[in-house]
Chains A and B, each alone.
Chain A
Amino acid sequence: MRVGLPHVRTLVVREKTVRKTARKRFKVAAGRTAAGTGAAGTGAAAVLASDAAEGDAGEDPVSHFLGSRLPGPAQPFAELIRGHWGGCEIRNHWVRDTLWGEDKTLSGNWALNACLAILRVAIISVRFRQAVTLSWPRVFEKCAHSTVPAMSLINGKSIT
């Protein structure tokens, strides 16, 4: 990797998780036009190859992505790829499943489960706006201990 050049489009990062250490190489390139999509702004697209050179044995080592942004430094693209997983799976779906037991519902009522899912999503937003410094277990603890923090959240006030 060449560091310091204005338009480096290859980025190598080493990611260490509990089970493995993976070296990933991100390459960004101008790829194609999305001709025929009829959308202004999709004329130039970036092709991104994410190469997990030392990942799991069964994992496809190279992933490709298509985007509407003009190609540039690889860092923002790498952050978007990491951010996608964190944004939907870790900070949204995991919270709903593990902390609220969404999938353990005993009801077979479609409308009831849909409305409860919407409420859980609303609470994720409320916690981000009004209790961003508190972890989820701490929020649960406070609201279980007293109704005041819960009412504060409902009334749009922050809790710490």
Chain B
Amino acid sequence: MNPHEFAAALNGWLSAAHGTLPRGLAIDGKYVRNLVLTLCLSEHESGAPAAIAIAVQAPVNEETKKEGELTCARRLYATTPLHGATITGDALNCEPQSMTLAVENGADFLFQLKANQPGAVAHAMDVAAKLPPLLPAKRTNCSTASRYGGFTGSMR
């Protein structure tokens, strides 16, 4: 049996039954004994999967793991109904293409920010350290917010 076709069939069944309420979806990869890389979008409350993808067979190392996870994640964002969902993930997912795909498919995201986006993390540290504990009285808009620095080169 072809695992990719099997995963696609299961994803179709899963997406046919999910509700319309807002939900949190956690994305994370898991190796089966350093052999098969699986990537699952799981609901926060139950751990129940919303979709699963299997990475292509490749030698196990840190680089293929990153690449495999990102490729699978993008495939899931493009094929899974995500309207109203908030996707959470680790710093590996914090890159422009994944964010764009998630938002274009109707989801919000919350990804951890680490040194793989040095410009963004430096700005985040600055914001978190300086701002007062209450929201500003005046609502800020996108153009105002854009004055707060930019992403790293890869994000521009």
**CA gap between A36 and B99 in the complex, in Å:** 11
Q: Across the interface, which residues of B come within 8 angstroms of A140, CB to CB?
A: none
Contact of A87 among B13, B45, B127 (CB under 8 A): B45
**CA gap between A39 and B44 in the complex, in Å:** 25
Q: Does chain A have a CB within 8 A of B110?
A: yes
Q: Does chain B have a CB within 8 A of A138?
A: no
Q: Is the interface of B mostly helix, strand, loop or mixed?
A: mixed
Contact of A92 among B3, B36, B49 (CB under 8 A): B49
Contact: A69 with B47, CB < 8 Å?
A: no
**CA gap between A29 and B28 in the complex, in Å:** 26
Contact: B151 with A111, CB < 8 Å?
A: no
Contact: B110 with A48, CB < 8 Å?
A: yes
Contact string against A for B residues 99-136, beta-carbon threshold 8 Å, 1 for contact and 0 otherwise:
11011100011111110010011011101100101110
Contact of B128 among A8, A36, A62 (CB under 8 A): A62
Number of interface residues of A (CB under 8 A): 75
Q: Is the interface of A mostly helix, strand, loop or mixed?
A: mixed
Contact: B110 with A114, CB < 8 Å?
A: no
Q: Across the interface, which residues of B come within 8 angstroms of A29, CB to CB?
A: 127-128, 131
Q: How large is the interface on B (under 10, 10 to 19, 20 to 34, 35 or more residues)?
A: 35 or more
Contact: B25 with A87, CB < 8 Å?
A: yes
Closest beta carbon of chain B to A100's beta carbon, Å:
11
**CA gap between A36 and B150 in the complex, in Å:** 10
Contact: A91 with B46, CB < 8 Å?
A: yes
Contact of B127 among A31, A38, A69, A83 (CB under 8 A): A31
Closest beta carbon of chain A to B43's beta carbon, Å:
6
Closest beta carbon of chain A to B87's beta carbon, Å:
9
Chain A's closest residue to B28 (CB) is A88
Contact: B44 with A80, CB < 8 Å?
A: yes
